[in-house]
Structure 1
Amino acid sequence: MPQESNFTRFVEVGRVVLLKAGPHAGHIAVIAEIIDHNRAIIDGPTTGVPRQAFPYRHLTLTPLAVPKLPRSAGSGVVKKYVEKSGIVAKWESTSWAKTRAAAEKRRALTDFERFQVLILKKSRRDKVRKVLKAAKA
C-alpha cells in the first residue's frame, strides 16, 4: 500500500510561484515548463514577469495552480489560462498576499506617518482601556 505524502505543493506545470530574488522579487509567476531538477521556465504575463529560466531555490511554491495548463505553453496561452482561472485575484485575496502588502505599506511609511500611526495606536489603546474599565464596574 503506497504511503501518503505529507507534501501538498509540488513543482508542476501550472504551479503559481512567488519570486524571492531578482528584479521581480515579490511578484507571482506560473511554471510553464520544467527544465531539470534545479530550474524551471516561469512566465508572468499578467504580473509583469518576463518568460525566463529561474532556479527553484529563488522560488516559493504557493498553494495555487493553473489547472490543465499545457506543457511549454507560450506567453499568450499562459496569459489566457491565468485570466480564465482568475489566479491573480485569488492570490490577492489570500492572507499571505495581504500580509505581504501590509508589510510593504509599513516599509514605505515616512517618519511623520509612523508618528501618526503611533498616536492612533495610543488613542485606540486608551479607548479599549476605558471600555474595559466601564465593563468591569
Structure 2
Amino acid sequence: MPFKRYVEIGRVALVNYGKDYGRLVVIVDVLDQNRALVDAPDMVRTQLNFKRLTLTDITIDIKRVPKKKTLLAAMEAADVKNKWENSSWGRKLIVQKRRAALNDFDRFKLMLAKIKGGNHQAGANETQKGECSLSLESVLF
C-alpha cells in the first residue's frame, strides 16, 4: 500500500500538540520544509510546525491562501466534518473524549452495565445464554 498522505494545499490535518490540540485544520500554504500556514473555521490563520500536525486522508480542493469565506465554502462542499466523524480515527477520538469526561458514578454505571450484559460464556447452552450470574441488585445491596 503506497503512502498517500502528502503535505499539500487543501490537506486536512489534526493538531497533535499545543494550544490547538485535537482541532482539525486545513493546510492553506507551505512556508518552508518545517512549517505550514493552517486555517480552520473556528480559529485564526496561523503557522504550525509539521511536527505538531498529523495528516489525514481528507483533502479539499482550494487554491493557495484562500479567503476565509472561500475556505468555509470548500469545507462545507467537501463535508469535512461528517467525513471525519464517520472515519474510524475520528470515532475513536470521540469515544476517548467521552470516556475522559465521565465522572466516578458514570464509570461505576458503565462497569455494572458491562457485568450485567457481557458475562456470557462461549459454550453456554440456550437456557443460560441471556442470563448472567450477577444482577444489579446483588451488586448494589
What TM-score do the two structures reach when normalised by structure 1? 0.86
Q: Give the corresponding residue for 2:3.
A: 7
Q: CA deviation at 1:124?
A: 1.2
Aligned letter for 2:124?
K
Of 105, 108, 118, the residue aligned with 2:111 is 118
Runs of 5+ unmatched residues, structure 2: 129-141
Of 77, 83, 89, the residue aligned with 1:84 is 77
Q: How many pairs were matched up?
A: 128
Q: RCO higher in 1 or 2 (8 Å CA, sep ≥ 6)?
A: 1
Runs of 5+ unmatched residues, structure 1: none
Q: Work out the percentage of aligned pairs sharing the same amino acid.
A: 30
Question: Which ranges of 4 or more aligned residues in structure 1 deviate by more than 6 Å?
Answer: none
Q: Is the 8 A contact 1:27 1:49 kept in 2?
A: no
Report which stretch shifted further, 109-118 or 72-81.
72-81
Of 102, 108, 111, the residue aligned with 1:109 is 102
Alpha-carbon RMSD: 1.9
* SS at 2:48 equivalent: strand
Q: Give the corresponding residue for 1:133.
A: 124
Q: Residues of 1 paired with 2:43 and 2:18: CA distance?
A: 11
Aligned letter for 1:118?
M
Q: Give the corresponding residue for 1:61.
A: 55
Q: Residues of 1 paired with 2:47 and 2:109: CA distance?
A: 44
